[in-house]
Structure 1
Amino acid sequence: MVVAMAALMSVVDSQATQAQSDASKPEFYTQQVQPIFAAHCVRCHGDSNHRGGLSLGSRQDMLLDRRNKPVVVPGDAANSLLIRLIRHEGPSNDPMPMPSKRERLSDGDIAIVERWVLAGAIVPVTLTGGKR
């Protein structure tokens, strides 16, 4: 009985770890990406503050800024403005990289956001209005 219980717990732990590491799952956004945005981005790009026309309040806001310019291109990190901005790689006419140089994201945080974008920028239904 103890062995069976230990095996079951191992499977449950393995499934939880898989969900956290699978960037195509909504849980990846909730557990990995959203905390990065909360720590570094929402002060300027949260629900009520849209500096530069960019909001991270919903998936639709992340796809297009207030000027209808693409911010996140699901599946394409190289063409996602968000990735270029957090890497401090442009655009050249941007007066301030995101976040500011003193708050630059770690390489690990950038890699997490990149993985999420490459996997389709999936978010929980609560951020999509019912669509992923």
Structure 2
Amino acid sequence: MFGFSYSRAVLESFEHPLHAGRARGDPAELIVGRAGSMKAGALVELSLRVAPGGVTEARFRAFGCPHTIAAASRVAQQIEGQPIEALEGFDIQAIADELEVPAGKLGRLLIVADALVGCLAEWRRRPPGTDTKQR
């Protein structure tokens, strides 16, 4: 269906996305980052459950092209199990390279990166004691 214009890695992640949905658990442990818009053609929501030691669950919901969905899936896979601080230095270009995203579609990956930045910003806004992460 899409094989002529999408890499094998994009097709695999698009057709069989991992970590789709919303993270569940105690609201004090959950953070959400959103970016993009339906009007712009791409909307990404990343939801993370954070506990001492880092991200214990990472999930995504996305509306957009196969590149958007594949990138959101790969990001969720890679950040689960990582310390929350790892979000700050996340390399979205590595995802672009892995998925062989053409230059004209890199903006879609920036939307995924912005959702990740939103998660980190929400985590930092929380007053000490409102989540399980020691500050």
Both proteins in one fold, TM over 0.5: no
Higher relative contact order (CA 8 A, sep 6+): 2
TM-score by length of 1: 0.30
**Higher Rg:** 1
Q: Which has the higher strand share?
A: 2
Q: Which has the higher helix share?
A: 1
